[in-house]
Structure formats: C-alpha cells, structure tokens
Amino acid sequence: MYEKDYYKILNVAQTATKDEIKDAFRQLAKKYHPDISVEKNAEVKFRKISEAYEILSDDNKRFEYDQLNFVEDYQVDYASEGQIFNSGYLLKKIPKKMKKGPLLTGKVKAKLTSLLFNSAISINLFIEENCSSCSGKGYVIFNKKKYLCDNCQGLARFEVEKTVQFNVTNFKETKQIIILKEQGNDGYNGGPKGDIKLKLILKRNKS
C-alpha cells in the first residue's frame, strides 16, 4: 500500500481528469522547481509533486495506485519471466556536471533448452531518456531567465521502453552477471549512457 496521498499532494480530487492533473502539476512545478523557485524546501516539495504526477498521469500506474490504496490484500507480482522493470521514478537530483547515466539492474531467467538453437536473449525494460527540448535540464533559458520546460513539465527525463539483446556464451554457470555497457539510462549534461547489469539465471531441465 502506498503511504502517500498523491491526490492530496497535487490538490486534486480522486475523480480528476488527466488534464486537471496536468494543470495542477504544472502550477505547482512553476512554484517549486528547484532551479527557478525561491521557496524554502523547494527541491523536496518538487520531488513530492513529481512523484505524484508520475503516478496519476499514467493510466496503468494510477489504476494500480487506486487498487493498492482502496482494495485490501491486493498484490501485484513483478517477477515476470524475461522482463525487468524500471529503475524508479525520475525524481533524482539532476547533476550540474557531465555524468554517466545511472546504473540499471535487473534479473532475467531463461531455460537452457530455449537457448540450444538460439543463444540470443531479448528483454524489454524502461530507461531514462533526456527531454529533447531542454536537454534533460527541466528548464529552458530565454532572455537570460529560466522557464519551466513545456515538453517535460520540469521532469527533465522520460521513461522510455526499450528492447535490448545479448548472447549467452557460458552455459555451465547457472548464475551469471551480464554487463551491457552504455546501453541504459541517458547520461547527464552530455555524459555517456549508463550500463545495464543483469543477473542471469539459467534453469536446467528436470531429469
């Protein structure tokens, strides 16, 4: 169950439309974005409203949030075989200097029999991608003043689904660590993409 009331954080009703949620977030983001706000604790408040917006603006995440908060003993199983999930909401503090993208980790299970004729494994995951309008800053500069980016609403980065593929070369070790260099999250301020670190579990046939 979620501990935060995201509707209250954005000051909207539980029946609010997506446009109403977007408008509410935009007004709060203008006030609390840490790069343009003069309010105390602006960064903390912006992280909270960003988290709320990430959930309530996405139909699937909002449905899950509503279910987890209003239906007892509701459980969601995230251990789907062949799939890993995102590295978290895009609420990290944006570095001011060039920096490599954050490490993305996950777990992949595969049956040895499925790799006999094709050793390639493809998986879907979510990566952080910089907003193209503000280059991942969350704001734009016009006439030497900072303004909230209209494209990303100040979030700076988006979650984008991506398919990556790798080949299994070691069939003896049932537990392996696979590193996919610079295939993950976008870097900051021109930095390289981050790595993807996968724990690969090969399942043998039962005799």
Q: Is 200 helix (H, G, I), strand (E, B) or coil?
A: strand
Q: Tell me the mean pLDDT in the region 17-30.
A: 91
Secondary structure of 123-183 in the HEC alphabet? EEEEEEEECCCCCCCCEEEECCEEEECCCCCCCCEEEEEEEEEEECCCCCCCEEEEEECCC
How far is residue 198's CA from residue 138's CA, in Å, rounded to a whole number? 30
Would you state the torsion angle of the CA atoms of residues 184, 188, 190, 196, taken in this order, to the nearest 10 degrees? -10
Please report how many Cα atoms fall inside a 13 Å half-sphere around the Cα of residue 108, on the Cβ side: 26
Domains of the chain by range and CATH? 6-70 (1.10.287.110), 104-203 (2.60.260.20)
Q: What pLDDT score does 121 carry?
A: 87
pLDDT in tens, 127-144: 889 999 999 888 888 888
**Percent residues over pLDDT 90 in the chain:** 18
pLDDT in tens, 152-173: 888 888 888 888 889 988 888 8
Residue 6: its H or E element = helix 6-10
The single-letter DSSP state of residue 90 is S
Whether pLDDT at 68 is above 90: no
- Residue appearing with tokens 């169950």: 1
Retrieve residue 140's tokens. 């734009």
Radius of gyration of the chain (CA): 20
Q: What pLDDT score does 24 carry?
A: 93
Lowest mean pLDDT among 65-69, 98-102, 126-130: 65-69
* Helix and strand counts by DSSP (H, E) for the chain: 4, 7
Q: Tell me the mean pLDDT in the region 146-151.
A: 87
How far is residue 16's CA from residue 25's CA, in Å, rounded to a whole number? 12
Residue 59 main-chain phi, psi, to 5 deg: -60, -45
Whether pLDDT at 114 is above 90: no
Whether pLDDT at 67 is above 50: yes
Q: Is 96 exposed, middle or buried (0-12, 13-18, 19+ CB in 10 A)?
A: exposed
Q: What angle do CA 97, 44, 90 make, to 5 degrees?
A: 60
